[in-house]
Amino acid sequence: MVKNILLNFLKGILAGLSIGLGGFLYILMVHYVEGELGKVLGSLLFAIGLFLVCTFKLSLYTGKIGMIYEGKQTKEFYISLPVMLIGNAIGAFALGYLCFFIFKDTNIMDTVNATCGVRTTLKTFNDYLSCIIKSTLCGFCVYMAVKLFNLNRLKPLGIGLLVFFVFIFVYCGFQHCIANMFYFGFGNHINSNMFINLALVIVFNSIGPILGVLIFKLIEAKRTI
């Protein structure tokens, strides 16, 4: 059990690095490609991060949390969830800080700071409501992306659906807790609003998969009728 939990921790770090890579590619595209095209390309390239997680079966918290709604899991699984989340945080923040030290004297930081600023602006009720809704929808999209990829593993359909759901949540500005950790590290945005944001996003990323689980259960119920 201890060995498996340690493995999940190490795979969690790699998953955090993978999502951080996706976030980095997004920032590059938004910064260097003008207009809406940069956002589109960045949203598509972000999918590389989740593709690496799914292909190499890494331990991504947002990709695993939905399983608790699918049915009873082992005790080891529940223990592993916070462990992999910590690993994800280490990987994402580490890559973010590495990028900060490499690019801190360049104008790419304007794009990074704008990305962080949108996430740490939590002053009004609408700001909090927006964060909650975007985090919930992101949790749903990640669950669907991972689930459909695993059902059609490495097939064109599975890859296409993974890219589609990742594109939707990135392009629409939905909030992903591990991606946010990377952005905050990259922007060196360590403040109270960062912790509030991450707390909210982690909670509602965790709730979002419920809708996806219900959809699959309804489909399964119709098949058995």
**Extents of the domains making up the chain:** 2-224
Q: Note down pLDDT in tens along the chain; length 225 residues.
A: 788 889 999 999 999 999 999 999 999 999 999 999 999 999 999 999 999 999 999 999 999 999 999 988 888 999 999 999 999 999 999 999 999 999 999 999 999 999 999 999 999 999 999 999 999 999 999 999 999 999 998 899 999 999 999 999 999 999 999 999 999 999 999 999 999 999 999 999 999 999 999 999 998 887 776
pLDDT at 220: 83
pLDDT at 138: 98
pLDDT at 225: 64
Selection from 138, 91, 105, 140 nearest residue 119 by Cα: 138
Token match 């699918």: residue?
70
Residue 122 region by backbone torsions, left for phi larger than 0, else alpha for psi between -120 and 50, else beta: beta
CA angle 184, 144, 39 (to 5 degrees): 45
φ, ψ of residue 58 in degrees (nearest 5): -80, 165
Token pair, residue 67, equals 């399983």
- Distance CA(3)–CA(70), nearest Å, equals 25
- Distance CA(60)–CA(13), nearest Å, equals 9
Alpha helices by DSSP H, the chain: 2-32, 35-55, 61-64, 75-103, 108-120, 125-151, 156-171, 177-187, 192-207, 209-224
Token pair, residue 223, equals 């098949």
| CATH-assigned architecture of domain 2-224 | Up-down Bundle (1.20)
Token pair, residue 16, equals 């955090």
**Threshold 0.85, pTM exceeds:** yes
Burial, 165: exposed, middle or buried (Cβ in 10 Å; 0-12, 13-18, 19+)? buried
Going from the C-alpha of 131 to that of each of 43, 115, 147, the distances in angstroms are: 19, 14, 24
